[in-house]
Structure 1
């Protein structure tokens, strides 16, 4: 009886995964068309649909399974058999790792109260358990014997975006010049030198990216070529060799790429050789398989726990009013839990906070909001948790805690990349460093605004500084759509009573915002505040905010350049 039931369940889960992955590929395949037609709004909507696919398919599969399993839904022996049969079922798949993660998601949602289970889930497997299939169809090869001009011309010819070039010959010479200046001044090409470029194009926002590498000087030198499609046609925007900029392009603060990946592990292996600073789970996130990225993150976390002995402690910085945050000092991640009760003036519910985090997960993060992974029934070894943290968790999030003899099971939490809180960074950095990060702070707020996000609470404690000294927003409980806000000039007082009133004498609606007031609380460090106020004068002008709103309402889409604009081959006015 169990054998037949197991085969039925395996078939349904596999069918659910097939439905998900086929829809994922179909939506991804639309990206070149939207780039070609410059239909940026349709591209954004398509991206959002793809983000919703996974959860919708897991939910649909779960409903079917519950109807069939009924009182067997929590039968451990049956699920062991199902896992074994499913493992056999997917053995030949070229995306086996994704199929394993889908199984994990389905059983977690179907089996009542299931924490992570090695017996019932695929916990220790990984992307590299898949066969790495022959790679001759993965990339184009360009031998050094062709010479630089021919190689560049062939790369340009191999990628046809279906749109006329704005200035094709000029693009070719820009690329040749960049290679000569950056690579050939340091290394000598030999007969062993070769260049490879992935055939799959990476699409995001208004750009298309070619990812490649050149074998020279005894090592692989990675590069990225961003293409743009402007009113005058296709053009190459720049050529990126800087590994830090490449890492930023695949950052946790940016939206996922649209890229066709027939064998995802092959694409990941190639990317891993090109962008070596990124971990496997970060690369899976970057190409849109964020649920498997979550799986790979958890595997990395388990491996790290086995290699280390330091305790989990409270995260540095001012304690939040909504979230309790802790970390493992040796691991570059923070763990965030929604408190049971919020102190005034916070008046939202736990559900509302979760909805804010959901909003961020579906929105374009434009390089300024941190990506998160959401976990349920997350297990931590009790002997690794500092007693002070245990006390803090009990005082603030007790309803989310479940203690066993040797584990703490947390019913709900978020994981996020650890950054240095901006307020702490400003306390100890030099004046020049401070000038840079306060410029970044203002840029982050304005770029979020252009992506239709108003941060709400813009205190510096809610922003973090990355290793590349970028400023990222990470506190989402008060975010709103910018178009829902009402930016106003403060009325001028007309008499002494109004001038000396202890409270505003004019009416203030819920979503009214007075940018003039930002000056009072933005940046407390005295030696750098004048620089900030002068550099970001527009921040305090309601008319500027209203102009951004108007652009959003007319359908204009911000392109968040993941590299300095000074690197671009052409000035803005030429394209």
Structure 2
């Protein structure tokens, strides 16, 4: 009874946090000696402004609100350092650089991460080395092994089919940084002319950088200068997850998240051209959502033509047909997607195939993609809810 009579104090920050169609009031609830982060998600309806959802606790702050896979907030504040001190305390696991970026202060975020990186190199004795996983065909990716961010340099040349050049890759990264990422794409911060002592680099990765990206990396005396490099939060690539994870329930959650990622991305009007390499270009976030971290094949959905494999010509015999001698019976352009063939190449583990087909088998039908294209052509784009449906208070979302 005494505990029930203890005062509860709700403190709210004065500025609202705006992002896309969203607005939030952020604060803390103090009761019984404990402080709980609390956020009210606001919605503008015909009845006026209402509270659509309530987020509470550090997990919601870290995995739902202050995430690097959505657009940055717009916050009207004069003393941003004081604001940062408060929001840092709401989601301390996110890290100060990430929180700077999430609330729109990208330059302070880059400065903070640069300091953190140099402190990490000095304190741990680690060096930059290649990151685990499949080597990128468009980017060279490297980092100190235990650092929570990776660093990416665009290759000058690539043997990748459809390679559009270094400038096109850089333009895509700039495009993604400025867009509504809808919880589906990691942000990347651009640095220019960052010098590091040569001894901070493993010789193998240094050789690869100098040979593969001479327009972005150079030697200057005893220093390695990264003339053009992106920093991006480290996530676990999906293909690595499926190779290492044995918990079947987690595997099902991850493959379901991959299917939802494809659908949500299409709903926003985008598609990944290198769909065969999807598990290598996407990763799992802390909240077990799937996010894209390679943007070189990201393009507007309406650029692609979704087709089914046409039937073979009369007299076709699979055993005797020689493609070099007889040619192909149909032509596939660079932007053609054969939806009935996609299932074989998208990277679904065999033990999860039936589960994926039950949940997302419509992805391999022409009818699904024709409808998505029709909606995109009419401007009917899907808005991905930033918070789980169970956090909502029953107000219909438009």
Return the TM-score normalized by structure 1.
Answer: 0.63
Question: Contact conserved, 1:372 with 1:416, CA < 8 A, in 2?
Answer: yes
Q: Distance in 1 between matches of 2:47 and 2:368?
A: 28
Q: Distance in 1 between matches of 2:328 and 2:28?
A: 61
Distance 1:517 1:277, change over 3 A: same
Q: CA deviation at 1:450?
A: 1.5
Residue matched to 1:352: 168
Q: Distance in 2 between matches of 1:436 and 1:504?
A: 39
1:521 aligns with 2:317: no
Distance 1:285 1:421, change over 3 A: same
Larger relative CO (CA 8 A, sep 6+): 1 or 2? 2
Residue matched to 1:546: 370
- The correspondence for 1:535, drawn from 359, 363, 378, is 359
Residue matched to 1:271: 87
Q: Distance in 2 between matches of 1:218 and 1:445?
A: 44
Q: CA deviation at 1:233?
A: 5.0
1:208 aligns with 2:17: no
Q: Distance in 1 between matches of 2:376 and 2:58?
A: 33
Q: CA deviation at 1:257?
A: 1.4
Ranges in structure 1 where 5+ consecutive residues have no aligned partner: 1-183
Question: Contact conserved, 1:238 with 1:569, CA < 8 A, in 2?
Answer: yes
Q: Distance in 2 between matches of 1:312 and 1:189?
A: 56
Distance 1:508 1:357, change over 3 A: same
- Quick check: 422-431 or 511-520, which moved more? 511-520
Question: Contact conserved, 2:162 with 2:334, CA < 8 A, in 1?
Answer: no
Residue matched to 1:388: 204
Q: Distance in 2 between matches of 1:456 and 1:498?
A: 31
Cα deviation, 1:363-415, whole Å, max 9, x if unaligned, reads 11111111001111122222121222223223322443322343211221111
1:567 aligns with 2:395: no
Question: Contact conserved, 1:245 with 1:562, CA < 8 A, in 2?
Answer: no
Structure with the greater alpha carbon radius of gyration? 1
Q: Map 1:187-202 onto structure 2 (within 5 A).
A: 188=4, 190-191=6-7, 193-202=8-17
- The correspondence for 1:406, drawn from 222, 227, 231, is 222
Q: CA deviation at 1:298?
A: 1.6
- The correspondence for 2:149, drawn from 302, 316, 333, is 333
Q: CA deviation at 1:465?
A: 1.5
Q: Distance in 1 between matches of 2:377 and 2:46?
A: 21
Q: Map 1:158-557 onto structure 2 (within 5 A).
A: 188=4, 190-191=6-7, 193-230=8-45, 234-248=49-63, 249-429=65-245, 430-458=247-275, 459=277, 460-497=279-316, 502=323, 504-557=328-381
Distance 1:559 1:344, change over 3 A: closer
Q: Distance in 2 between matches of 1:358 and 1:527?
A: 38
Cα deviation, 1:311-332, whole Å, max 9, x if unaligned, reads 2110000011111111111211
Cα deviation, 1:330-366, whole Å, max 9, x if unaligned, reads 2111111111220142422111111111121121111
Distance 1:207 1:399, change over 3 A: closer
Question: Contact conserved, 1:449 with 1:548, CA < 8 A, in 2?
Answer: yes
Q: CA deviation at 1:485?
A: 1.8
Cα deviation, 1:115-173, whole Å, max 9, x if unaligned, reads xxxxxxxxxxxxxxxxxxxxxxxxxxxxxxxxxxxxxxxxxxxxxxxxxxxxxxxxxxx
Q: CA deviation at 1:539?
A: 1.4
Cα deviation, 1:418-453, whole Å, max 9, x if unaligned, reads 111111110121221111111111111221111222
Q: Distance in 2 between matches of 1:333 and 1:232?
A: 44
* 3-state SS, counterpart of residue 386 of structure 2: coil
Ranges in structure 2 where 5+ consecutive residues have no aligned partner: none
* 3-state SS, counterpart of residue 277 of structure 1: helix
Q: CA deviation at 1:292?
A: 2.6
* 3-state SS, counterpart of residue 523 of structure 1: coil
Q: Distance in 1 between matches of 2:136 and 2:67?
A: 25
| Higher strand proportion | 2
Q: Distance in 2 between matches of 1:518 and 1:230?
A: 41
Question: Contact conserved, 1:454 with 1:481, CA < 8 A, in 2?
Answer: yes
Q: Distance in 1 between matches of 2:315 and 2:392?
A: 55
Q: Distance in 2 between matches of 1:425 and 1:488?
A: 31
Q: Distance in 2 between matches of 1:333 and 1:395?
A: 23
* 3-state SS, counterpart of residue 25 of structure 2: strand
